A and B are shown apart, each in its own frame.
Chain A
Amino acid sequence: MSKKIRNMTDSNLLLAITVIVFVLMYVGAIIFQGKGFTKPQTFFNILNANAGLIILACAESLVMITGGIDISVGGMTALVSMSCAVYLDYHNGNVPVSMLIALLIGLAYGLVQGYLVAYLDIQPFIVSLAGMFFARGMTTIVNSDPFNVANESFVALKLARINVPGMGSVNKKGVYVNAYVEIGVIVALLVVILMFMMLRWTKLGRSFYAVGGNRQSALMLGINVKRTKFLSHLICSVLAGIGGYVYFLHVGSGAVTNGQGAEMNAIASSIIGGTMLTGGVGNIIGTLIGVLSLATIQNIVATAGLGEAWWTGITIAGMLCVFLVIQSVLMARKKKLMKK
């Protein structure tokens, strides 16, 4: 057994830890919190509420695997949702065009940030910091008052529910209620699957790992390092645009405070999911579980009668701390092995 663990790659080990922690947490929640968590709908609600965050976290993981970081995704969520909300409500827009707006914002962001990071060699943290500032500021310039979108076709899309067969439960009145997910969840799962396949089986996907792992040797392997970095930021921002729209679809309102702290949640989920900050190590499935762990903690805190809002922040930070220390210990172990 111990030999098996020793032979595990860092990526698998981190993923295994994450999965174990998540399962333990969910089982613990079922045991100590009682019925709520046994209903499948509780789990689906977590998915519904965090579909946007899942996409943002996938985007973040991609950049982190390539060795960068992007803290503008939260600001982009606000910008996308506000722009689309204003377009839909004040200009009587239609839904497909609003989706196009979200994609275009993502594309524009990706082109600029990717160029600055990859070709001008500016630190990704600073570039995306400016990106975050810009997005938050622009959101206020577009419109500063929060409002709910009343556009009919949008509301219809927002309320669209996809029933999950066999997962329903009987409510207090004795009526069978179908379990459901929102459209955003389908999009999020599609993104997870596509990203997983891309990172695992395509040449481009492997080159992200190569560049993040060791830039110099990636260069010697004949990988176009600059282009790979550029593409990672481009895909990240486009995904952030999609994630922003999914988030918007869930909340159904445009507000400056939309996606507040989403960048930190996305980074935290990626780290908890086993993506290494130093680059080169990471797994999209882990990221998905990272988001779910984060959301489960929030749910547990909310239902545990720890009404005080501060517990959420403190527990997430504690979890982040533990996972970061594990990563750091792993890195130290790896270095020792390399020396031998």
Chain B
Amino acid sequence: MSQKGSKGSIQDLFGKLVRKQIFIPIAALFFLLLFNLIFDPGFFVITLGTNSAGDPVLSGNLITVINMGSELAILAIGMTFVTAASGGQDISVGAAIAIAGSTLLRVLCGTNTRPAVGELRTSILVAFIISCLVAMAFGAFNGMLVAIFKIQPMVATLILYTAGRSIAAWINNNELPIISDPEFGYFGGFIPGIPVPTPVFIAVACMIVAGLVLKFTNLGLYSQAVGINESSSRLNGLNPVFIKWLTFVILGLCVAVAALIKVSRLSSINYSVIAKDIEMDAILAVALGGNALSGGKFNLWASIVGAYVIQLLTTTLFKYEVPSDALPAYKAVVVIILVVFSAPTVREKIGNLKKKTVKREVA
């Protein structure tokens, strides 16, 4: 070993780093930040201003990224569990957000769609708990189809994807309630006196909870086991049906939290537009995190970093005045490059190429 010298050990270290799963999203993050640094250092400027209510708020592109990326990061947590355990993805999260948000508004407003300040029917907490229950019930429905009826997750969730926004409109009789209470806007905006956007705190809280769950329960281990080999995990005494079902319920909870933020940002809802295409971004976040979309081993933190990478990409593209409808084309190119390089056959080929060059050097 000693002959190798310092150069070798650095290479070893680098090799170890590259092999780490979280390396891919972090590298993408750095690449995007570097791109911005080179072409417009103004991207990193953060200013402390005041909003219309006269409270101090931070603003700047980086703040936008961590603010707007919160919902995606929260969804990425749930989506990672679902992907790991069931080997498929839930494509109904956007529609489920519409349902949860609609429930939230319905409970708060009742039939009066324009409640005056202080005229809300219940406290926001109660409404949030009810919307959590509803979202978890829909998650349980998806989970039932996947776990018990053994339908491919993407197709099982196609049902809710088709019906979700219609159900959301039905809950509120197709009315669009608007809440004028300032407290309701805190969850998606700023709490007076705190300059950091509230969604950031909510996202961090979700990450801490997820981290604690991974640390103190066997959920992570079990969902990996089920994802890798369902029959052998059953032979080892696990209950694959329950674990798959549970991951969908957890995703439902994540959906409810994301819905609270989304609805609070507008203090209203638009059933056909709210959280549109967010399911694709959430799946992309999981894929970007280097997690196998066919299930099995996962790294939650890589998914979360992946979510922020996507938001950074979106914000960067917006900055260069790409219209929001054209964004998907650029994202598609990024996705294709990513999946091509992470495809096993391509990796093998690259590996072979490396070996060949090394052999030549030796010769």
Task: List A residues at the B interface (Cβ < 8 Å).
Answer: 69, 116, 119-123, 125-127, 129-134, 136-138, 140-141, 144, 256, 261, 264, 267-268, 271, 277-278, 308-314, 316-318, 320-321, 324-325, 327-329, 331-332
- 11 inter-chain pairs at a CB distance below 8 angstroms, sorted by A residue, are A126-B293, A129-B335, A136-B328, A141-B329, A144-B323, A264-B162, A268-B162, A313-B165, A314-B166, A320-B159, A325-B149
Q: Which of B155-174 contact A (CB under 8 A)?
A: 155-156, 158-167, 169-170, 174
Q: Does B340 contact A (CB under 8 A)?
A: yes
Given contacts A123-B294, A141-B326, A268-B162, contact A314 B155 (CB under 8 A): no
- CB–CB A137/B325 < 8 A: yes
**Bound Cα distance from A321 to B293, whole angstroms:** 24
**Bound Cα distance from A123 to B88, whole angstroms:** 11
Q: Which residues of B contact A264 (CB under 8 A)?
A: 158, 161-162
- CB–CB A134/B328 < 8 A: yes
Q: Which of A138, A309, A316 contacts B162 (CB 8 A)?
A: A316
Interface segment among B48-56, B179-187, B204-212, B342-350: the answer is B342-350
Task: List B residues at the A interface (Cβ < 8 Å).
Answer: 89, 145, 149-152, 154-156, 158-167, 169-170, 174, 280, 283, 287, 293-294, 323, 325-333, 335-336, 339-340, 343-346
Q: Which of A130, A256, A321, A332 contacts B332 (CB 8 A)?
A: A130
Given contacts A130-B335, A130-B339, A134-B328, contact A69 B154 (CB under 8 A): yes
In the complex, which residue of chain A has the Cβ closest to the Cβ of B152?
Answer: A277
A277 to chain B, nearest CB (A): 5
**Bound Cα distance from A312 to B339, whole angstroms:** 36
In the complex, which residue of chain A has the Cβ closest to the Cβ of B95?
Answer: A313
- CB–CB A324/B155 < 8 A: yes
- CB–CB B329/A138 < 8 A: yes
Q: Which of A141, A309, A320, A332 contacts B158 (CB 8 A)?
A: A320
A338 to chain B, nearest CB (A): 15
In the complex, which residue of chain B has the Cβ closest to the Cβ of A137?
Answer: B329
Q: Which residues of A contact B156 (CB under 8 A)?
A: 324
Q: Which residues of B contact A132 (CB under 8 A)?
A: 328, 332
- Determine which residue in B162, B163, B293 has the highest number of CB atoms from chain A within 10 A of its CB, and name it: B162
Q: Which of B152, B164, B174 contacts A308 (CB 8 A)?
A: B174
**Bound Cα distance from A219 to B104, whole angstroms:** 53
B52 to chain A, nearest CB (A): 31
- CB–CB A137/B162 < 8 A: no
Q: Which residues of A contact B283 (CB under 8 A)?
A: 126, 129
A122 to chain B, nearest CB (A): 5
- CB–CB A317/B328 < 8 A: no
Q: Which of A126, A131, A141, A324 contacts B151 (CB 8 A)?
A: A324
B330 to chain A, nearest CB (A): 7
Q: Which residues of A contact B154 (CB under 8 A)?
A: 69, 125
- CB–CB A133/B326 < 8 A: no
Given contacts A136-B328, A314-B163, A320-B159, contact A120 B145 (CB under 8 A): no
Given contacts A125-B154, A313-B162, A331-B150, contact A133 B328 (CB under 8 A): yes
Prevailing SS type, chain A contact patch: helix
* 10 nearest A-B residue pairs (beta carbon): A137-B329, A313-B166, A317-B163, A310-B166, A134-B332, A133-B332, A133-B328, A137-B328, A140-B325, A328-B149
B303 to chain A, nearest CB (A): 15
Q: Which residues of B contact A133 (CB under 8 A)?
A: 280, 328-329, 331-332, 335
Given contacts A127-B339, A134-B328, A312-B166, contact A324 B280 (CB under 8 A): no
- CB–CB B329/A309 < 8 A: no
**Bound Cα distance from A24 to B69, whole angstroms:** 49
**Bound Cα distance from A92 to B2, whole angstroms:** 74
A127 to chain B, nearest CB (A): 7
Q: Which residues of A contact B323 (CB under 8 A)?
A: 140, 144
Q: Which of A141, A312, A328 contacts B150 (CB 8 A)?
A: A328
**Bound Cα distance from A308 to B158, whole angstroms:** 21
Q: Which residues of B contact A329 (CB under 8 A)?
A: 149
Q: Which residues of A contact B149 (CB under 8 A)?
A: 324-325, 328-329
**Bound Cα distance from A264 to B163, whole angstroms:** 11
In the complex, which residue of chain B has the Cβ closest to the Cβ of A308?
Answer: B174
- CB–CB B339/A126 < 8 A: yes
In the complex, which residue of chain A has the Cβ closest to the Cβ of B89?
Answer: A125
Q: Which residues of B contact A131 (CB under 8 A)?
A: 332
Q: Which residues of B contact A136 (CB under 8 A)?
A: 325, 328-329
Q: Which of B158, B160, B331, B346 contacts A268 (CB 8 A)?
A: B158
Q: Which of A126, A267, A278, A313 contacts B163 (CB 8 A)?
A: A313
A129 to chain B, nearest CB (A): 6
Given contacts A122-B343, A324-B151, contact A314 B332 (CB under 8 A): no
Given contacts A120-B345, A122-B340, contact A309 B166 (CB under 8 A): yes
- CB–CB B328/A121 < 8 A: no
Given contacts A133-B332, A136-B328, A144-B323, contact A267 B343 (CB under 8 A): no
Q: Which residues of A contact B145 (CB under 8 A)?
A: 321, 324-325
B231 to chain A, nearest CB (A): 12
B117 to chain A, nearest CB (A): 31
- Determine which residue in A133, A144, A321 has the highest number of CB atoms from chain B within 10 A of its CB, and name it: A133
In the complex, which residue of chain B has the Cβ closest to the Cβ of A257?
Answer: B325
B147 to chain A, nearest CB (A): 11
B271 to chain A, nearest CB (A): 9
B309 to chain A, nearest CB (A): 16
Q: Which residues of B contact A310 (CB under 8 A)?
A: 165-167, 169-170, 174
Given contacts A126-B335, A129-B335, contact A311 B166 (CB under 8 A): yes
**Bound Cα distance from A264 to B166, whole angstroms:** 15
**Bound Cα distance from A256 to B326, whole angstroms:** 10
- CB–CB A140/B326 < 8 A: yes
Q: Which residues of B contact A324 (CB under 8 A)?
A: 145, 149, 151, 155-156, 159
In the complex, which residue of chain B has the Cβ closest to the Cβ of A136?
Answer: B328
Given contacts A116-B336, A314-B167, A324-B159, contact A277 B151 (CB under 8 A): yes
